[in-house]
Amino acid sequence: MTDAPALQLTVDGEARTTEPGTTAAELYAEQRDVVVAHVNGVLKDLSTPLQDGDVVERVLVSDPEGLEVLRHSTAHVMAQAVQELRPDAKLGIGPYITDGFYFDFDVAEPFTPEDLKQLEKSMLKIVNRNQIFRRRTVTEDEARAEMADEPYKLELIDLAGGPGSGAVEESAEGASVEVGGGELTVYDNVDRKSGDVVWRDLCRGPHLPDTKHIGNGYALMRSAAAYWRGNQENQQLQRIYGTAWPSKDELKAYKERLAEAERRDHRKLGVELDLFSFPDELGSGLPVFHPKGGIIRKEMEDYSRERHARAGYEFVYTPHITKGHLYEVSGHLDWYRDGMFPPMHVDEERDPETGELTKPGQDYYLKPMNCPMHNLIFRSRGRSYRELPLRLFEFGAVYRYEKSGVIHGLTRVRGMTQDDAHIYCTREQMKGELTNTLNFVLSLLKDYGMEDFYLELSTKDPNKFVGSDEIWDEATRTLREVAQDSGLELVPDPAGAAFYGPKISVQARDAIGRTWQMSTIQLDFNLPERFDLEYQASDGTRQRPVMIHRALFGSVERFMGVLTEHYAGAFPAWLAPVQVRAIPVAEAFNDYLDEFAQSLRERGIRVEVDTSSDRFPKKIRTASKDKIPFVVIAGGEDAEAGTVSFRFRDGSQHNGVSRAEAVELIARHVASRANEDPTAPAEELEVGATVVEEPAAASSEQTRTPEQP
């Protein structure tokens, strides 16, 4: 019995009175799915003693923060298992990441698949021992003493510049899970029976109450090499990636999503469908598009141009290289130099006899973005308010020196084509123009089949910006209002803006629920100032325009990679490289389908007639493998009746269609730019029947239900 006054708490929005010394764990003792809690807005371990007046909010293991804690705690268990298997292993960093976690180790030999299996078994034993995660605050000297055998942890302590310095994220990616936040802490893994500390790590936490909360929804996925602190000059470590979920069923569902994502991998499909490649001769991140991939690009770009023209954009073209001074004016050389290719020093002249410099050379750069050149176009002559808003659009080739470790197929390249627009308007026009731009972006993305969106608002990085706080505040406020007015979910992205202005990013979910960053819309008061852009206002005064940066696809290359995965290579008919493949039942019907194909070509349809020596069933399977939207079949009865039969991607068929009607059906579907696959009329749906290869005289009636591949 204590004389201490009872605690007055607010627990999940309700007032509650409890005993002194109560922890969050005791508040939620009957709710096993509560794994951590917000205490006065700060994420804390459940073991944290509560104080009078505390506001406590539960966090479930299924919540985003709960999943992060689950995954980080699982990373600790994995590290413990590693050091049991290899006592000489030294610990690097082990943060949670999207859908999982990793941990870096300095080990003599790389991990093998057999090692990962053994580690999973060891982890299960640790989980079942129900070890307690116990947090301790330590001084810097105490931390050094406890981590004396862990050189990488000692280095993190040194690099952090002391608790709360804010330098830790500059030290190493993911290091903030280890040190920072104003104090140093160690987490002990404590044996529940003996009370002995069986393992420890320098870590900020928080963690689950105990290992038992991890359950059986985890798996180790793979191992890979990784440089310490992401620097190739440093020691190469071994990284183990894992995933963790609240249940085994959720783990299974995740693995199924991974398998589906692998089937949709645009790099694999690009090879299988002969769309694009990355020749070693060109260099990393520099793709070439093959004829079939070129058709898709052309259709994407042509339709985009059409929509832009209808929306009042004007087309401009700019060179691929420029003198470096342009990027000094824009600020990119100050803020973005690391993302640019090194300069080419040209135009230098020397006396041929003496070698004396007679004309200094200049540095030229491959352009990393188009906006400075568009500013020069605006500035090329006087502008009137009557011209505004001025919308300049370019499919502009840009080049960025992406590090080799982040290059990923078409979605992260070094040479790309931005569908880039820069809109110049008055202050009074900017909100309306931003709204129109966002609506235009969403509308065009929907035309390509992306339908599920949310928005992200990237705000000022306090360590990386130009201009006054006042104009940043105004720009951010305006963007936020436009985003909120759209009715879409708005997610904050603190410190994610470019140096010259905040931005809205359109995040699109694909067919299997993955999120891709698509269009960006940036509001910029700074570059017009840097380039001294002016227009004459209605009162005769000279005014600065407001500048809106807008990339719709992000880049054509990236968008094509995303669409390839969204459609799993089965592009809608209007985008498909081959829209129709005509397959004769036998050679005798080649000419009949050639005539039909010519009728389609006259309507602008991309059609092939398969006159190869392959047997008929193989031709059907090849068409399915090539993901052709319209497969047209003709045999004896079709030739006699002047008809063809359709075989669709879903396996359904539409038989005995007159050639004229078939041409109209195909042309109408393609012209509609429908993103849904064509299919048979409801009364004719017939899926999964089996084909029998017939001799040349066979009728189409006998062969128009080909085998399911």
Active-site residue among 332, 371, 414, 619? 371
Whole-angstrom CA distances from 666 to 219, 348, 581, 632 are: 48, 60, 12, 10
Q: Which residue has the tokens 């790389």?
A: 110
266 is in an annotated binding site: no
Catalytic residue check, 549: yes
Contact 648, 708 (CB under 8 A): no
Catalytic residue check, 371: yes
The 3-class SS string of 149-204 reads CCHHHHHHHHHCCCCCCCCHHHHCCCHHHCCCCCCEEEEEEECCCCCCEEEEEECC
Taken in order 293, 298, 299, 305, the sign of the CA dihedral is: positive
Nearest Cα neighbor of 666 from 617, 594, 604 is: 604
Catalytic residue check, 290: no
Burial of 406 (0-12, 13-18, 19+ CB in 10 A): exposed
Active-site residue among 45, 104, 188, 420? 420
Active-site residue among 80, 238, 418, 507? 418
The 3-class SS string of 340-386 reads CCCCEEECCEECCCCCCEEECCEEEEECCCCHHHHHHHHHCCCCEHH
Cβ of 708: how many Cβ atoms within 10 Å? 13
Whole-angstrom CA distances from 58 to 42, 172, 209, 411, 592 are: 11, 31, 14, 38, 71
Integer Cα distance of 189 and 374 in angstroms: 59
Which pair of structure tokens corresponds to residue 285?
A: 């991140």
- CA gyration radius for the chain? 31
Q: Which residues of 331-369 are buried (b: 16+ CB within 10 A; e: fewer)?
A: bbbebbeeebeebeeeeeeeeeeeeeeeeeeebbbbbbb
The number of helices, as runs of H, and strands, as runs of E, in the chain is 20, 35
Which pair of structure tokens corresponds to residue 476?
A: 């951010």
Provide the 8-state DSSP code for 501: B
Long-range contacts at 441-448 (CB < 8 A, ≥ 24 apart): 441/506, 441/518, 441/519, 441/521, 441/550, 441/552, 442/486, 442/506, 444/304, 444/307, 444/552, 445/506, 445/508, 445/518, 445/519, 445/552, 447/303, 447/307, 447/673, 448/300, 448/559, 448/563, 448/575, 448/675
Active-site residue among 58, 134, 503, 704? 503
371 is in an annotated binding site: yes
Active-site residue among 58, 239, 264, 400? 400
Nearest Cα neighbor of 292 from 268, 264, 271, 267 is: 271
Catalytic residue check, 431: no
Catalytic residue check, 203: no
Catalytic residue check, 383: no
Specify the length of the chain in residues.
709
Integer Cα distance of 114 and 105 in angstroms: 17
Q: How far is CA 23 from the centre of its chain?
A: 40
Catalytic residue check, 400: yes
Q: Which residue has the tokens 């001074």?
A: 325
Q: Which residues of 28-45 are buried (b: 16+ CB within 10 A; e: fewer)?
A: beeeeebbbbbbeeebbb
How do 321-323 and 344-346 pair as beta strands? unpaired
Integer Cα distance of 266 and 567 in angstroms: 10
Cβ of 1: how many Cβ atoms within 10 Å? 2
Those residues whose C-beta lies under 8 Å from the C-beta of residue 381, and which sit 6 or more positions away, are: none
Q: Is 323 helix (H, G, I), strand (E, B) or coil?
A: strand
Burial of 676 (0-12, 13-18, 19+ CB in 10 A): exposed
Contact 175, 184 (CB under 8 A): no
Active-site residue among 207, 549, 627, 647? 549
Q: Which residues are documented as binding site for Zn(2+)? A: 371, 422, 549
Residues recognised as catalytic: 371, 400, 418, 420, 422, 503, 549
Q: Which parts are annotated binding residues?
A: 371, 422, 549
